[in-house]
Amino acid sequence: MPPTRGIARSPTSGCSRGRLRAVRFKTEENGIMADETDKTNESGRADSLLLRMGVIGTVIVALCCFTPVLVVLLGVVGLSALTGWLNVVLLPALGVFAGLTVYAVWRRQRRMKTT
């Protein structure tokens, strides 16, 4: 097989996300016990991402809902006829993002209790 130029072949190409998952081993008197640090790091990242998405979405929808930001933007673009339907979209979106924020906080607290 001829060598390929410009393409680095990585031993981690078969793993998800392209990297190996490191597992640390601790030796004890009874045997070897694996420390699953990557699993907690990934769930911590997922919790942080959920919380960020929930808070940012709630703030943006609240600004559009309670201030005339979206009405002015729709007027500038020429879609001011849609302002009557804003509450149909914005109020459920506010509920979804607020619920997402509450879920992310609950999930983070539950994870903190188990560790």
pLDDT band at residue 113, thresholds of 50, 70 and 90? confident
Query: What is the pLDDT of the chain when averaged over all its residues?
Result: 74
Under 8 Å between Cβ of 72 and 80: no
Instruction: Indicate if the pLDDT at residue 57 is higher than 70.
Output: yes
Which residues make beta-bridge pairs with 27? 32
pLDDT at residue 77 greater than cutoff 60:
yes
Which contiguous run of DSSP H or E holds residue 33? strand 32-35
pLDDT band at 34 (very low <50, low <70, confident <90, very high): very low
pLDDT confidence tier of residue 47, bands split at 50, 70 and 90: confident
